[in-house]
Structure 1
Amino acid sequence: MSRPTAVTFGVAGHEITDQERDLIKQIQPFGFILFRRNCGQPKQVRALIADLKSCVEHDPPIMIDQEGGRVNRLPSPPWPPFPAPGALSIIEEAEIGTLDDAVYWHARLTGEVLRNINVSVNCAPMLDIPAEGSDDGVLGDRTISRDVDVVETAGLHYVRGLREAGIVPVIKHLPGHGRATVDSHAALPVIDADIEVLEASDFRPFAAASLLYGDRVLGMTGHLLLPQIDDKPVTLSAKIIQDVIRDKIGFAGHLMADDIEMGALSGYSGNAIGDRAKHAIEAGCDSVLFCAPKPDLWMEVADAAGEISESGWASWQNAAGSSKAAATPMDHESFLSHHRRWLTPALVALSNQRKQHDPTAG
């Protein structure tokens, strides 16, 4: 069997359309990513995933962005609620336990939910360090803390929690999105900081995870411009991917380009979606994300991305096998008990905050 195409696609709804099915069988994409539009009920999601897998000749990663808080792809109900990582500080403040433990259980319980529906990859943790003046509309409580020392340590506990649930983590957004003042979905953030400053802060959580876990985690690029290093965005920059992400940070795993349709890449590589895919792969990304359900563009993206490299395929297989080996079982009663202890206090605190701002809120 030849290796799959170096692209991960998102599909339109709760079921695969005939057009999507035909193209998936032709293209043999590396993986699939789920969004809220794909997630109605657990049984339905399992059926969708089984159908996606039946269309390809390899075992594809099934990805999701399930961070908690506003990035919740699994609606509650029917799935249990998860607070944003940034809300977990209440656990330490209320002397229930340490933040590191709360972060671990947030990840572990998230992973249990994902494993139950046969999702294999969570695009988390976000290890970005918000800087003064950064865009809280993008990061905000999605980040664990504004303190690099806290994120450096807690991020490792998050990775461990996902892996012990059998889920492959994705550290993002390499090499650090925390200084962005605009949303990369719409425009290109410019991070005009010295490399020495970035090494002392932004890079550290990624370097810690890379040192401890090697190629047992995946990574996702941020669409950022670092003008003191290169005049191309990170995702399209061979210099940044090799010299910074691979060498300085030491990331050795499978590197995915964040969604190549995002506005940050407009004006670079032209506006053709295929050019973006081609240049991301040439720069050193192992695969690209194309998340919008636009099957009319799939063949263009696939032709440009080409077959996944031997090293990119091997690093994915290592990460997947390692997470399966790290998984330890958890029964339903244990899940409920840990959810009540570690996550419910944060959910209650957030609900109370909403009621203070809006007395009519439920």
Structure 2
Amino acid sequence: MNAHGPMPKSAWIFPALAVLLFAATTAAGYSFKPSSAGLAFAAVLLLILFGTVFAAVHHAEVVAERIGEPFGTLLLTLAVTIIEVALIATIMLGEGPVTTLARDTVFAVVMIVCNGLVGICILVGGLRYREQDIQVSGSNLYLSVLSVLATITLIMPNYTLTTPGPVYSVVQLGFVSTVTILLYGVFLYTQTVRHSDYFVAATAGARHEGPQASNRAILLSVGLLLVSLLAVVLLAKKFSQVVDAGAALIGAPPAFAGILVALLILMPEGVAAIAAARRNDLQKSINLALGSSLATIGLTIPAVAVAAYELDKQLVLGLPVQDMVLLLLTLLLSLLTLGSGRTNILFGLVHLVVFAVFMFMVFVP
């Protein structure tokens, strides 16, 4: 979907279909079960859900162009994070609770974004423009905050003494959630107010294409954005039933559900990031990618922690040793790639190799 020009029909058709599907299944009391009819329902659900997520991001992009950078990228990130929290909380706290889903999804988002998405953007941009520039100061802020958040939420739970295993105690989880929100909030202040110039490419102002949307179009996009987000939240439970049944049917590993949720929520944002790299705006690609990782940890973990506490559910956060090695490798590689301020195709290829290792190890640990 393009944020310029007339609104595509899919931008309002899919949210409307999502609301109608939720109303119909609720009125009929439908519960998904693996069968020929169930497979047809799953196909329709996934099609409508994907289309609605893309519609939400399209409307967020329309509004984002009006409010400018870096607020526009922040709006996109927050819209995707709302979808993510809804899906994780619904699946993790459903009838068949998956205590590791939040951990698996957050880890999958970091690996998909920092290796898969960043690698594709750098490779695509490098093939087209040979080299591309990014703001080192902004990248360093992203990676410093991401390193701290990833360590205290995904690694530290394995080494605490109050509770055994990869689980925080209630007090520890409350403390970590508080400092996570605090650090992410200060980062947002730095990004949008204090040092907003760190996150905007020097030539960003020259990249706008086409006329700006009218006030009527902006208001319509705001309304449809809210409807799209609400529709995804309402359909999250049906999606969780399909994921559970699909994983059991193919004998997928436990981390499969987290990867599927991560891919669903990151796909539209990933398309926007790759398109920005093709326009020689790699800075926006990095903002979208790393901003997703930060928002995933900074907002998702505290939100799911509150839900788990209220419903008295266990929340497993600590990663297995193999995943910790991949996480540390990813953070180190990201520092080396983005620390020079200039990228080329080799940097992109290296990130994609690490992403391929991550995906392979999920199915062949």
TM (norm. structure 1) is: 0.24
Question: Which of the two has greater strand per residue?
Answer: 1
Pick the structure with more helix per residue: 2
